[in-house]
Amino acid sequence: MNEKATYIVMLGPPGAGKGTQAKVLAEKMGLVHVSSGDLFRDNLSRETELGKLAHTFMVKGELVPDDVTIRMVKERISRPDCEKGAVLDGFPRTPAQAEALEKMLAETCHRVSVAPFISVPNETLVERLSGRWMSQSGRVYHATNNPPKVKWFDDVDGSPLYQRDDDKAETVRHRIDVYYQQTSPLIEYYRNKGVLVEVDGTQDIDRVTEDLLKAVRQ
């Protein structure tokens, strides 16, 4: 492992743009973007030992145990392409996972360099996420950012648009509440470690990227 490897833990509620920024940050810094969602999908599709193990819990509707997720992450960041470090997206989710990550990195004399938290007011998040509408053909619109030419109707075939249950305001508010209930201890964990940096996620995408780059290069 490279002595100067950089490990970044991205934090932010649903709708804050965390996944998008994690990809951009990884690309600009020459690091690997390690998304926990992608990691699960990859292990499941390749039917690895860990993928099969995770599947046994998922088919029962149970949460995949921490030790399985941790082993997946450890296997991924130990590959040669992560020699310079990684941008972690979706992991860790809890202080227990964060401590496991610290131990994992300590094995190669590394640690989390910075944990940027993309902060966005709840109502802005609700507006971003609940503004999404779909056409029957799968075209996606947004009430504010990408509205149809005729309100509530598809631009191509004129069919009425509909909103998925997941995109309804009450569902979105619940997702945000759950995120903060589960993740507040993790935010405090990294604050206490002195590596948490808050970034204003209400700015345009490029400005958020600029602020993130400044934060990780300090």
Q: Is residue 164 part of a domain?
A: no
Q: What is the pTM of this model?
A: 0.87
Residue 92 has pLDDT above 60, yes or no: yes
| Cα 36 to Cα 19, 39, 92, distances in angstroms | 11, 5, 9
Residue 34 lies in a domain: yes
Asked if residue 18 belongs to a domain, the reply is: yes
**Domain assignment of residue 170, yes or no:** no
User: Which residues are annotated as catalytic?
Assistant: 18, 93, 132, 164, 175
Dump pLDDT digits (tens) for 153-195. 999 999 999 998 989 999 999 999 999 998 999 999 999 999 9
* Residue at 191 is within a domain: yes
| Mean pLDDT computed over 149-156 | 95
Residue 206 lies in a domain: yes
Cα(189)–Cα(183) distance, rounded to whole angstroms?
Answer: 10
The whole domain housing 101 covers: 6-122+180-217
Which domain CATH number covers 86? 3.40.50.300
Q: Is residue 57 part of a domain?
A: yes
- Is residue 169 situated within a structural domain? no
pLDDT digits (tens, 9 = 90+) for 35-69: 998 999 999 999 999 999 999 998 888 888 999 99
Is residue 162 classed exposed, middle or buried when 0-12, 13-18 and 19+ CB atoms within 10 A define those classes? exposed
Q: How many domains does the chain have?
A: 1
